């Protein structure tokens, strides 16, 4: 039997996350939206400590369902629900919580016990995108060469969230560019390591409080044990496919979390729009037929339905991850659906609320700006649809590009 209700322990996470969003994030959202390139907001420091003490730091979307038999609702489900609520308050502030970087999710997903112990409590960024390599993660040009007991990294990374404020960075680099994606590995680089420098911190349209930086690696030397996963390059084509598939599994955990961010921002915009419209005597009448509703009421119903569909897809992808069920297709489906719906809802709410939607008197225009990137990072809309198509048609990345 399918049960679409959240279990009590997940509801508790949802309630606490919403309290945090409503009591801490939402009141300061506009303030930090206007202060770009600031230090970590002081209001978030105790939040990071609180989450770390509770055992949640860096683990949103990273852990499985834990031990025991039967259906599990673990870190991924908790992460999706908590992320949705915090993004409802302010997605940029949520991404700025110390210790909650995307790199932390990667470490928890594929790091060794020693790496989790050493780096798991740090604030870790993720550096994948390069000037000539965006959605095609297999085209990474940054190199890693083993010299004695050290890896030497050379290359440039862009659009790395929390790379300036963070304590460490998870860097994707190639051991041999002639081999292609099978030679790509991830490496842990601590802040202050000689050879790694922050080139610039980007000015952005949305998520302005969250820092996004460009990094340069110039003969950056790190310990041999700072590679995540198997340091060997597979010797057969089939083994190489599986190896890169293991690297990409990080996205199977993090894409539902980004979908959850989009859900939170979209829900925030829709709720605020309905509040503003109610003051103008526009109130949805759910006891009426859809075809007897006004055009504006029908638009609200449609947005609510799209949001609910996105939510259910996201919960399914997270549940599958917790229960160790391959979810690459479902992770891309929820990311594609939620990203597109989030953009549509936030922009439409700006439109239907007129001058209030466009002005800074309300947060609607901020929600619209914040939502755009959520359809882009962790894989664009087009890339997600391509991944889904490959799964549905049984095609490889070589067959369907």
Q: What is the mean pLDDT of each run of 10 residues along the chain (401 residues)?
A: 80 95 96 88 90 61 49 84 96 90 80 89 90 78 95 96 93 89 90 96 94 96 92 67 60 89 98 93 82 88 96 95 91 96 97 93 96 92 93 88 79
CA dihedral (318, 322, 325, 326) positive or negative: positive
- Which residues are within 8 A (CB) of 83 and not within 5 positions of it... i.e. 6 or more apart? 17, 60, 61, 94, 257, 260, 261, 264
Residues in the chain: 401
What does the alpha-carbon distance between residue 239 and residue 251 come to, in Å, rounded to a whole number?
20
Contacts 24+ apart (CB under 8 A), 230-239: 231/146, 231/175, 231/185, 233/175, 233/176, 233/179, 233/182, 233/183, 234/182
Q: What is the CATH number of the domain that holds 183?
A: 2.40.110.10
Rg of the chain over all Cα atoms, to the nearest angstrom? 21
Residue 222 backbone dihedrals phi, psi, to 5 degrees = -130, 155
The answer on 12 and 63 residing in a single domain is yes
The answer on 389 and 259 residing in a single domain is yes
Q: Domain boundary residue among 202, 235, 268?
A: 235
Give rounded-to-5 percent helix, strand, coil for the chain: 55, 15, 35
- DSSP assignment, residue 21? I
Among the listed residues 297, 330, 365, 378, the single catalytic one is 378
The answer on 184 and 162 residing in a single domain is yes
Query: Alpha helices, DSSP H only, in 45-99?
Result: 45-53, 75-94
Element (H, E) at 216: strand 212-223
Among 60, 65, 40, residue whose Cα is nearest residue 261: 60
Q: Domain boundary residue among 189, 205, 235?
A: 235
What does the alpha-carbon distance between residue 58 and residue 51 come to, in Å, rounded to a whole number?
9
Q: What is the CATH number of the domain that holds 50?
A: 1.10.540
- pLDDT value of position 377: 87
The answer on 382 and 246 residing in a single domain is yes
Which string of b and e fits 327-341 if b means at least 16 CB within 10 Å?
A: bbbbbbbbbbbbbbb
Please say whether the beta carbons of 103 and 126 come within 8 A: yes
The answer on 357 and 255 residing in a single domain is yes
Among 127, 103, 126, residue whose Cα is nearest residue 116: 103
What does the alpha-carbon distance between residue 96 and residue 42 come to, in Å, rounded to a whole number?
11
Residue 206 domain boundaries? 124-235
pTM for this predicted structure: 0.89
Among 345, 340, 341, 401, residue whose Cα is nearest residue 376: 340
Write down the residue that tokens 């609702």 correspond to.
73
Please say whether the beta carbons of 128 and 173 come within 8 A: no
Q: Domain boundary residue among 48, 76, 108?
A: 108
Among 342, 343, 339, residue whose Cα is nearest residue 385: 339
Instruction: List beta partners, residue 148.
Output: none
- pLDDT value of position 247: 59
Give the end-to-end CA distance of the chain in Å, rounded to a whole number. 38
Domain tally for the chain?
3
The answer on 189 and 160 residing in a single domain is yes
The answer on 379 and 244 residing in a single domain is yes
What does the alpha-carbon distance between residue 378 and residue 382 come to, in Å, rounded to a whole number?
12
Query: Does residue 113 form part of some domain?
Result: no
Whether 202 is catalytic? no
Please say whether the beta carbons of 27 and 43 come within 8 A: no
Q: What is the CATH number of the domain that holds 358?
A: 1.20.140.10
In the chain, count H helices and then E strands. Answer: 12, 8
């Amino acid at each position: 039997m399918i049960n679409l209700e959240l279990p009590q322990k997940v509801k508790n996470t949802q309630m606490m996350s919403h309290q945090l969003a409503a009591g801490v994030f939402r009141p300061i959202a506009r303030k930090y939206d206007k202060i770009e390139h600031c230090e970590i907001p002081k209001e978030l420091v105790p939040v990071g400590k609180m989450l770390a003490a509770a055992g949640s730091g860096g683990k949103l979307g990273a852990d499985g369902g834990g031990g025991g038999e039967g259906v599990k609702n673990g870190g991924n489900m908790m992460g999706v629900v908590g992320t949705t609520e915090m993004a409802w308050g302010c997605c940029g502030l949520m991404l700025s919580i110390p210790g909650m970087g995307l790199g932390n999710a990667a470490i928890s997903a594929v790091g060794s016990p020693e790496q989790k112990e050493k780096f798991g409590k740090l604030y870790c960024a993720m550096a994948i995108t390069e000037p000539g390599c965006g959605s095609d993660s297999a085209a990474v040009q940054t190199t890693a060469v083993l010299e004695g007991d050290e890896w030497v990294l050379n290359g440039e990374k862009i659009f790395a969230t929390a790379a300036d404020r963070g304590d460490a960075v998870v860097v994707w680099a190639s051991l041999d560019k002639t081999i292609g994606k099978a030679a790509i590995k991830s490496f842990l680089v601590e802040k202050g390591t000689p050879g790694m420098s922050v080139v610039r911190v980007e000015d952005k349209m949305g998520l302005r409080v969250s820092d996004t930086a460009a990094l340069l690696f110039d003969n950056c030397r790190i310990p041999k044990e700072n590679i995540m996963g198997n340091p060997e390059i597979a010797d057969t084509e089939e083994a190489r496919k599986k190896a890169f598939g293991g690297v990409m599994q990080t996205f199977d955990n993090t894409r539902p979390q980004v979908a959850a961010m989009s859900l939170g921002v979209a829900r925030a915009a829709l709720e605020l729009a309905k509040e503003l419209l109610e003051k103008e005597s526009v109130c949805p009448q759910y006891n009426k037929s859809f075809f007897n509703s006004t055009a504006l009421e029908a638009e609200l119903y449609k947005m609510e339905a799209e949001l609910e569909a996105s939510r259910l897809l996201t919960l399914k992808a997270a549940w599958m991850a917790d229960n160790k069920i391959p979810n690459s297709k479902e992770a891309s489906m929820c990311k594609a659906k939620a990203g597109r719906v989030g953009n549509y809802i936030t922009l439409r709410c700006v439109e239907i609320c007129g001058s209030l939607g466009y002005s800074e008197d309300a947060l609607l225009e901020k929600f619209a700006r914040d939502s755009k990137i959520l359809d882009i990072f962790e894989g664009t809309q087009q890339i997600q649809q391509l991944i889904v198509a490959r799964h549905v048609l049984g095609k490889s990345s070589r067959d369907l590009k």
